[in-house]
Structures are given as structure tokens and as C-alpha cells.
Chain A
Amino acid sequence: MMQQAGNLKKGEFIIYQGDIWQVQKTEFYSPGKGSALMRTKIKNVSSSKAIDYTFKSNESVEIIEVLSVEMQYLYKDSESAFFMNQQTYNQYEIPLDMIGDIIKFFKEGETMYVYVSDDKPLSVRPPVSVTLKVTHTENAAKGDTVTNAKKEAELETGAKVMVPLFIKTGEVVTINPETGEYTGRSNA
């Protein structure tokens, strides 16, 4: 499917110079000299290398249609993460560099959506929210009443995030994996 570069959206997969790239960031730009542009950061699905590329806003770009397939996150090694299609039991490997920082919030055994094109896994669709247990955080000092004050907490995946002072070790919190921000206390 062809689309004008000015309409590109984060997360889409495009063909650029013969390779498949995922759009990581877009910024429309009208420089006040010449034509309007679309600044992007795109990541090559084969090499996981990210580049900055500026398209003309009215340039046609080929978008690849991808499937979001439900898969179980199995484990990761130093280079890749491994997922299993729960329908077919086929296993898929995705380089950690392609998944990016959100991997640190993935818990083994959890279900995720993996972008697949022609049975090739491209990347992981970032979950809107992840629910994780706090394995360690210091108790807040009494009398610390500064509003919006935060402290560090280590989660069960090993990731460290900032949480409000009232959160205690053993509690379950929700995190936006894309920003790494605490979004709430879970009742689960």
C-alpha cells in the first residue's frame, strides 16, 4: 500500500531502499523555505540499525501490511528474545536491538503481540501497560511530604523505575513500557 510520507505513523513498517524499516519517530516539518518535509527515525528490521531520514511530505512510501500475532514470550539471551506462537507452537527469534528498551519490562511466559510479515517476525507491538511486582524499594522516610516525590524501585524483571513514595516492596504496579513511567498501583 502506498501512502504519503506526511501521513506516516510511529510503529508502521515501510520499504525504503529495498529493505523493511519500522518507523520509530515522526516529525512534520515546514521549514519556511521550499517544501514541507517529514522527519523520521526508522529502524532497519534486518540489521536493527536506526537512521534519521527526511522524506518530502508528499513523497509516496510503501507501507507493508503486517499481522499482529499473539505469542508467548519465552526467554532472552544476550542477542535475541524468543517467542512462541501459541496456535502453531512455532518459535520465533527477534533481535533485542529491534525490540528496544521495552524488553526490560517483559516477564517470561507473558503473552505479547508480535508483528509478522510473510511468517517473518519483525518486532514486538509495545503493550500499552505492563503489570509487574516491586521486588525492592526503600521505605519512604517519615515526614517526607513533598508532592510528586518519587523513589527508585526494582521490578521483578530487574528493570528500575521511579514510583511514588507510598509504594512498598511486594506491591504490584503498572508501567507504561514505552516511557518507563509508573502509571498506577494494581489491585491484581
Chain B
Amino acid sequence: MNVKASVSNLENYKKYLIIKNEIVSFLVKKNYQELDLPVLSPKLIPESCLEVFQTEFRNMSYKQKLFLTPSPELFIKRLIADGIGDCFYLGKAFRNAEHFSSKHSFEFTICEFYKLNTDYMSFSKEVLDLFLALAKKVNGKNYIYFKGKKISFESFEKITVAQAFYKYASIKDTELFNHKAFLKVAGLKGYKTEGFSYEDLWSQIYAQEVEPNLGISGRPTLIYEYPSVFAPLAKPKNKKVSKRFEVYISGIEIGNCYDELNDYKLQRNRFAIEERLLNQSGTIWADTDYGFLEAVRKGLPNCSGIAIGVERLGMIFSDTHNINDFKLINFE
């Protein structure tokens, strides 16, 4: 890889800055406390779907492993447990093993905001209000155009994960949550199943058959109630699913929201499951942040939080089709 300065992206970068600044001013106006947080941490929340970057602090004979944070969640939830109230972070996050692509980079800008005493569906209205504020900022209207298509932000299309799998992949509820039945259906559809897990096939079918249909009917789609195995930090709704939603615009995942899990015992069990999956996978992983569990035990108030990919949101609201087109410095 080499470093390349791309001043020719300055016009796009300015469009991105307008959007980034509008996100901050929207949240500040809504009384969310802005947080400046570290990007290096000695401990992390175990999440088996992510791989992290590792480095080391050295001073004489003292050595401390440090990890670039894939999300500011471990810091923010501690502060919420200690009483900071509604808050947000807009800054860098790092995820290893994610190649460069039009929508991905291993270093990206994340905006996480958390609201207390709400639930994820009520909280979704705040997310829609943010989109409306952005649309008004860049277009002066309640809608924008992306790739020649009008997208309006007056409401969400809402669909559960189970409904979406049925509608777009003809997989029934009874098959979706039964791992054996799901693998069988996947095999009948022509997917390779031998040697692969439920999680592997679920992701593949979601990406291949479900995701391209989300957020393409002229408004954003809110897809909710994910199987709990894909939402280790979210409150369960019932035995099968957890209170997690994702927002899509034009087939692109923009944000991921939970009703934050504040049941200590359940969180501890889920940590153990994630640690086991990480040990099996052989990916780089950090020392587990048991202090986070302590914060949950001390008392995390009921709250909902969303993580938004800021460059992706910038793409949509500036009708730019590649996140790299915003960057003044690219790696080649």
C-alpha cells in the first residue's frame, strides 16, 4: 500500500463536511452531550463478528497491549451507567479484515448516539428526524435524490427480519430460527452448506437475497428483530429475537440500533458465548473488558443507541457513490 493525496476530492470532501457538521449540530440541539473518546483501549467487548487491530504501549520494561476500538460502545455505556445521560460520539473507529471497497474501509467515521428511557422503536423517530434535518440541509426539502431516485424521509418502511426472509427469500419463520431446517433450505436453494454454520449461511442469504431489497422503495427501510445470536449486546424481545434494528437506504446499511442489554447475567452469558466463538475463529482479539460487565451490573439505565457509518450517510446525502471519493488521503 502507498499513500496518495487526492486534492481533486476537495469538492466532495466539502460536501461530506457539511453533512458531518449537520449531524453534530442536530445532536447538540437535541441536548445530546458530545463526547471525545479514546481510540486505543487495553480491553474490548468480545464481538465475534469483528476483528481488531492490535498495538503495544512500551515504556522501559513496561508493556501494555492496546487495541484500536471497533466502536466507542465500551466507553459510552460506562459513562451512561455513571449518569452522563443522553450522549454521542462522532469520530474514528477501526475494524480489521475489512478490505477497501466502495462502502468499506478499515478506518472509518462512526457516529454513536444514545438516548435514555426510550425503546428502540420510539428512538427510530429520532433517527428519522436526523435524516430529515440532513435532507433539509442539503436539498431544502424532506427528500433527496440518490442515483437519480427520489428518497423521502417522512416515514420508514418497517419489516421484521422474519418477514423479510419470507418475502424476499421464501424462507418461513419455522425454518429461519431452526438451525437444522435453515441449513436444509439453504442447501435446496443451491448454497454450499457442508462444513458451514447457521451463521455463515444466514449471512450469505441475507446479503444475497434480502439486503438488495432494503431501502429501495423511495424511503428508508427499518429492518428489526434479529435472531439473538446476531445481537449479543441487545435486549431480547423473546426467546428467538432481540431488539435490534438496522436502517437501509438504497440497499446500503446505514445504521445499527439496539435496545441496550442491561441484564447483567444475560450479558455475562453472551460474553462467554462470544469469547468461545472468538477462540474458535483464530482472529485477533483483545483482552475481554470485564469492567464493562461490572458497569452493566452496577446499573445501566434503559437506553437505546445507534451506530451510524458517517461516510455512508455522506454518500447518500451528497449523491456520491464511493466513500473513497470523500477522502483527501487514500491508500493504494
- Judged by a CB distance under 8 angstroms, whether B192 is at the interface is yes
Task: Assess the A56–B99 pair: CB atoms within 8 A.
Answer: no
Question: Contact partner of A36 among B97, B102, B196, B253, CB < 8 A?
Answer: B97
Task: Assess the B204–A29 pair: CB atoms within 8 A.
Answer: no
Nearest Cβ on chain B to A117's Cβ, whole angstroms: 23
The range of chain B's interface size is 20 to 34
The residue on B at minimum CB distance from A17 is B190
The residue on B at minimum CB distance from A36 is B97
Nearest Cβ on chain A to B70's Cβ, whole angstroms: 9
The residue on A at minimum CB distance from B197 is A35
Stretch of B31-39, B144-152, B206-214, B291-299 lying at the A interface? B206-214
Task: Assess the A31–B212 pair: CB atoms within 8 A.
Answer: no
Task: Assess the A34–B192 pair: CB atoms within 8 A.
Answer: no
Contact residues in B for A55 (Cβ distance below 8 Å): 204
| A31 with B97, Cβ < 8 A, contacts A17-B190, A56-B200, A59-B192 known | no
- Judged by a CB distance under 8 angstroms, whether A46 is at the interface is no
| A56 with B203, Cβ < 8 A, contacts A17-B190, A34-B49, A34-B230 known | yes
Task: Assess the A34–B199 pair: CB atoms within 8 A.
Answer: yes
Nearest Cβ on chain B to A23's Cβ, whole angstroms: 14
Nearest Cβ on chain B to A1's Cβ, whole angstroms: 17
The residue on A at minimum CB distance from B256 is A32
Nearest Cβ on chain A to B1's Cβ, whole angstroms: 15
Nearest Cβ on chain A to B46's Cβ, whole angstroms: 14
- Judged by a CB distance under 8 angstroms, whether B177 is at the interface is no
Question: Contact partner of B204 among A27, A30, A32, A56, CB < 8 A?
Answer: A56
Nearest Cβ on chain B to A32's Cβ, whole angstroms: 6
Nearest Cβ on chain A to B32's Cβ, whole angstroms: 23
Contact residues in A for B231 (Cβ distance below 8 Å): 33
Please report which residues of chain A, range 18-66, place their CB below 8 angstroms from some CB of chain B when the two chains form the complex: 27-37, 39, 52-56, 58-59
Task: Assess the A34–B95 pair: CB atoms within 8 A.
Answer: no
Task: Assess the B102–A28 pair: CB atoms within 8 A.
Answer: no
Task: Assess the B230–A33 pair: CB atoms within 8 A.
Answer: yes
Interface size on A, residues (CB 8 A): 20
Complex-state Cα separation, A32 to B312, whole angstroms: 15
Question: Contact partner of A33 among B49, B97, B201, CB < 8 A?
Answer: B49
- Judged by a CB distance under 8 angstroms, whether B226 is at the interface is yes
Task: Assess the A34–B206 pair: CB atoms within 8 A.
Answer: yes
The residue on B at minimum CB distance from A60 is B192
Contact residues in A for B158 (Cβ distance below 8 Å): none
Task: Assess the A29–B192 pair: CB atoms within 8 A.
Answer: no
Task: Assess the A30–B207 pair: CB atoms within 8 A.
Answer: no
Task: Assess the A30–B208 pair: CB atoms within 8 A.
Answer: no
- Judged by a CB distance under 8 angstroms, whether B101 is at the interface is yes
Contact residues in B for A36 (Cβ distance below 8 Å): 97, 203
Nearest Cβ on chain B to A77's Cβ, whole angstroms: 33
Question: Contact partner of A28 among B104, B200, B206, CB < 8 A?
Answer: B104
The residue on A at minimum CB distance from B101 is A27
Complex-state Cα separation, A31 to B50, whole angstroms: 9
- Judged by a CB distance under 8 angstroms, whether B156 is at the interface is no
Instruction: Name the residue among B95, B192, B203, B230 with the largest chain A CB count within 10 angstroms.
Output: B203
Complex-state Cα separation, A53 to B101, whole angstroms: 16
> Could you list 13 examples of A-B contacts with CB < 8 Å?
A27-B104, A28-B101, A29-B104, A30-B50, A31-B253, A32-B49, A32-B50, A35-B49, A35-B199, A35-B203, A37-B204, A56-B201, A59-B196
Closest 6 CB pairs of A and B: A34-B203, A28-B99, A33-B230, A54-B208, A34-B199, A54-B207
